Every structure is written in C-alpha cells, then in structure tokens.
Homo-oligomer: A and B are copies of this chain.
Amino acid sequence: MTRIQYQECIDACIQTMNACNYSYVSSLKQYDLASLRESIRLDRECADICSFAVQAMTRQSPFVAEILRLCAEICERCADESSKHIHTHCQECINACRAAAKACRLISDTVEVYA
C-alpha cells in the first residue's frame, strides 16, 4: 500500500484532529462547561490518536492496521459522546469522527496484518 492509497484516510484523520481540538478549546469556553466534561476528555483522546495515526501512515508503519483499528474505535466513541450535545462544534465533531472511523476501518480491514 502506497502513500497515495492512505491519502484519503490521512485527510480524514487530520480533519478529525482539527475538529476535536477545536471542539476541545470551544467547550472549555462554554457556559455549560460542566455538562461537557466527558466530551472534553474524549476530544483530546481522539485528537491524540488521530495525530498518532497520521504519523504512522506517513511513515508506513508495519502496524498501520492495528493503529487504525484503535483510531476507529476512539473516533466512534467520541462521535457518540459529541452526539449528546447541541453545540455546533460538537456536531462538526460527529461528522468528522464518523468519516475518519470509516476511512480507518476501510484500511484496517484490508491491510495484511504485519507477520
């Protein structure tokens, strides 16, 4: 699998990192901060694994399949949590996270596991 074949997933993960970090910063400014505690935590979790996944794809890590499987799980969990909130930044998170999860699973399900 080449750089080009990962490109769509790289883009999706970058957008999710961006959306999650934006939601993180925005949530910390909200009046209803207390109801966003879990969302803040998951935004950071999701941004961090997305950043890690992007690095792994660009360095053609032999563990891409496993890393993207984990990334997909965390993106899905973050989307679930974001869907409990009506803020615009939370809604943007949902879409980005679901798209990244799908792109990650597409690769993790097809890449031959390192053996």
Contacts and interface: CB of A to CB of B under 8 A. Distances in A.
Question: What DSSP secondary structure best describes chain A's contact surface?
Answer: helix
A90 B20 CA distance: 26
B74 A70 contact: no
Nearest to A115: B77
A17 B54 contact: yes
Given A18-B3, A33-B37, A37-B33, A55 B62 contact: no
A59 B73 contact: no
B28 A40 contact: yes
Given A22-B60, A42-B62, A51-B54, 16 more contacts: A3-B22, A14-B54, A21-B60, A25-B60, A28-B40, A28-B41, A29-B37, A33-B34, A44-B59, A45-B62, A47-B55, A48-B52, A49-B63, A51-B51, A52-B52, A70-B70
21 contacts: A3-B22, A14-B14, A17-B54, A17-B58, A18-B58, A21-B58, A22-B58, A25-B41, A28-B40, A33-B37, A40-B40, A41-B62, A42-B62, A45-B63, A47-B59, A51-B55, A52-B52, A63-B70, A63-B74, A67-B70, A70-B70
